[in-house]
């Protein structure tokens, strides 16, 4: 789904699956300085849902993840601390590599697939 809040020319897809306290946000496209605010608004909306025990962000279809997107992920993790589990599905040079390079892999729960992120729930 194209995000109507993103600036013209930007591509950010945000699709949500909700089931029994589990919320998965499937993200596609680019998370950059233009699209990061819409990404953050969606994460804040999902984090505020009552009864959510696990929030998974699926970045497997993201082609570009900027420092603005990395900051959104860290703020969301801080916001959810003690309220619900926050997991990220990311693999490859566009998503997992930047998180590893800046040390986020030590601070966040990052998995190679959505299934792996949900396997211990």
Full DSSP string of 6-34? SPTT--EEEEEEEETTEEEEEEEEEESTT
Question: What gap in Å lies between CA 43 and CA 41, rounded to an integer?
Answer: 5
pLDDT at 82: 87
Q: What is the mean pLDDT of each run of 10 residues along the chain (121 residues)?
A: 51 93 96 96 92 94 96 96 94 94 93 94 76
pLDDT at 110: 96
pLDDT at 6: 46
Closest to 59 (Cα-Cα) out of 120, 113, 1, 5: 113
What's the CA angle centered on 41, arms 40 and 46, to 5 degrees?
A: 95
pLDDT at 9: 62
**Looking at the whole model, is its pTM more than 0.75?**
yes
pLDDT at 44: 95
């Amino acid at each position: 789904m194209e995000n109507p809040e993103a600036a013209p020319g930007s591509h950010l897809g945000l699709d949500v699956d909700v089931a029994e306290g589990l919320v998965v946000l499937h993200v596609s496209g680019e998370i950059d300085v233009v699209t990061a605010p819409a990404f953050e608004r969606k994460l804040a909306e999902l984090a505020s849902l009552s009864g959510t025990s696990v929030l998974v962000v699926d970045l497997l279809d993201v082609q570009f993840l900027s420092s603005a997107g990395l900051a959104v992920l860290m703020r969301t993790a801080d916001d959810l601390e003690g309220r619900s589990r926050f997991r990220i599905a990311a693999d490859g040079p566009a998503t997992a590599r930047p998180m590893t390079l800046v040390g986020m892999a030590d601070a966040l729960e990052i998995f190679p697939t959505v299934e792996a992120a949900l396997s211990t729930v």
